[in-house]
Amino acid sequence: MFWVALVLVLVATGRHVAARELAAFLPNLIALFAALVRDARVPRRAKVALALAAVYFSMPIDLVPDFVPIAGLADDAIVAAMVLRFVVGTAGRDLVLEHWRGERSTIERVLRLARITSA
């Protein structure tokens, strides 16, 4: 719910591009993880990390409940960043970029924020 409210605030303040990127981020992240799991170039240990993250994201119980503003989404974001860091370290940054379906600037920003520079 917080996610939707944030998107609406961005739209209301005229930040349509940011709102569109935020709204599409989660579906694009899920598609990225799924594509990486299916890619034969991704090492098995990275696929295991991706699968465990998918299980964690789908669990109804989180470390911090999602309805808690900001902090509720932080645990999912931290897990996603850790998994992306591991995948980039084992499979390479270019492979992650290849499978990203969203705006390139979005994944570049995510990798930069997670301090993921190269593999």
The pLDDT value given to residue 118: 53
Give the whole-angstrom CA distance, residue 27 versus residue 72: 18
Q: Which residues of the chain register pLDDT less than 50?
A: 119
The pLDDT value given to residue 20: 79
The pLDDT value given to residue 15: 79
Q: Report which secondary-structure segment, H or E, holds 4.
A: helix 2-12
pTM beyond 0.85 = no
- Per this entry, what is the length of the chain? 119
The pLDDT value given to residue 66: 67
Other beta carbons less than 10 A from residue 64's beta carbon: 14
